Amino acid sequence: MVSVNTSGNSTGLIQVRGLDKTYKRGGEAIHVLQGLNLDVDKGDFVAFMGPSGSGKSTLLNLLGGLDVPTSGTISVAGDEITHMSSGKLTEWRARHVGFVFQMYNLVPVLTAFQNVELPLLLTSLSRSQRREHVEAALSIVGLPDRSRHFPRQLSGGQEQRVAIARAIVSDPTFLLCDEPTGDLDRKSADEIMALIEELVDKHNKTVLMVTHDPLVAARSHMTLHLEKGALVEGSKGRQDVSAGGAS
């Protein structure tokens, strides 16, 4: 269950408490996120919406351990990540986070197979075990026959599927999707969203997604709106979810 929590008593998979992020630009402090509280349970599918500069991507970066907050805490499956060293945070990301980006961000000189294999190179899996995992991930995203193709030989939708396969191949704790359909036409976007829904419904993945598209957001369990660094509203998506009060 997703909740924009103010009580501090929840035991969700992801717990965010009093999250602040402030940038300094030319001596001026810019408060991107202010006192954010959030709980996300395993299997939840949350969409974040909001105007540009509202802090959506900053929130996603903080949840993914790519950036550190000015104050506040983030705990994932019991690990408090906000005070981890850079090296520890890198290891943590490898184990717990799968990233999907708007521009796919595949390595163009590697085949689909090699791109999906990248996160597994950091594990102790043998070559044959890695092959099994990669083939399974490519099957889940519907591209078992494109493993030898390079990104330039794939359509945008297919590239994003490969990126999703890369994100799930190491079975991370949760997926962070930053505008996953932002660069796709409607048909491809629908296919990608169907795939993400399948990951949530069939494979019980936890997904946190930033989007500008209300139609895409409507397919999540819950849409949270960010405005001026605060979660100001929570609306139900395709399933029944309960939300706490905005901070």
Partner 1 sequence: MKFSALIFSNLFRKKVRLILTLGSFAVALFLFAFLAVVKDAFNRGGTVASANRLVTINRVSIIQPIPLSYRDKILRIPGVQRVTFDNWFGGVYQEEKNFFPQFVIDPENQRQVFSELLVSDDQWNAFLKDRQGAIAGAGTAKRFGWKVGDRIPIKNSIYGSDAWEFNLDGIYHGRTAQDDETQFWFQWDYFEERVPDRNKGQVGWYTVKLDSPDDAVRISKAIDDEFANSPYETKTETESAFAAGWVKQFGNIEFLILAIGSVVFFTLLLVTGNTMAISVRERTGELAILKAIGFKNGSILLFILAESLTIALIGGLAGLGLALAAIPVMGAALNGLLPNLIISKSMLATGIGFALLVGAASGILPGIGAMRLRVVEAFRKV
**Distance spanning both ends of the chain, measured CA to CA:** 17
Q: Which is nearer to partner 1, 162 or 241 (CB)?
A: 162
List 50, 55, 69, 119, residue binding partner 1 (CB under 8 A): 119
| Site membership for partner 1, residue 61 (CB under 8 A) | yes
| Site membership for partner 1, residue 131 (CB under 8 A) | no
Instruction: Judge contact between 32 and 22, C-beta under 8 A.
Output: yes
Q: Which is nearer to partner 1, 9 or 124 (CB)?
A: 124
Quick note: the x/- pattern for partner 1 over 156-195, rule CB under 8 A, is ----------x-----------------------------
Three-state DSSP state, 38: strand
110 to each of 61, 71, 135, 136, how far by Cα in Å? 26, 39, 16, 18
Secondary-structure breakdown of the chain: helix, strand, coil percentages, each rounded to the nearest 5: 35, 25, 40
Quick note: the x/- pattern for partner 1 over 76-115, rule CB under 8 A, is ----------xx--xx-xxx---x-x-x-x-xxxx---x-
Q: Which is nearer to partner 1, 109 or 215 (CB)?
A: 109
Three-state DSSP state, 113: helix
| Site membership for partner 1, residue 30 (CB under 8 A) | no
Closest CA to 200 of 98, 123, 109: 98
Choose the stretch contacting partner 1; rule: CB under 8 A; options: 11-19, 119-127, 202-210, 211-219: 119-127
Whole-angstrom distance, CA of residue 21 vs CA of residue 49? 18
List 121, 144, 155, 242, residue binding partner 1 (CB under 8 A): 121
List 64, 69, 157, 229, residue binding partner 1 (CB under 8 A): 64
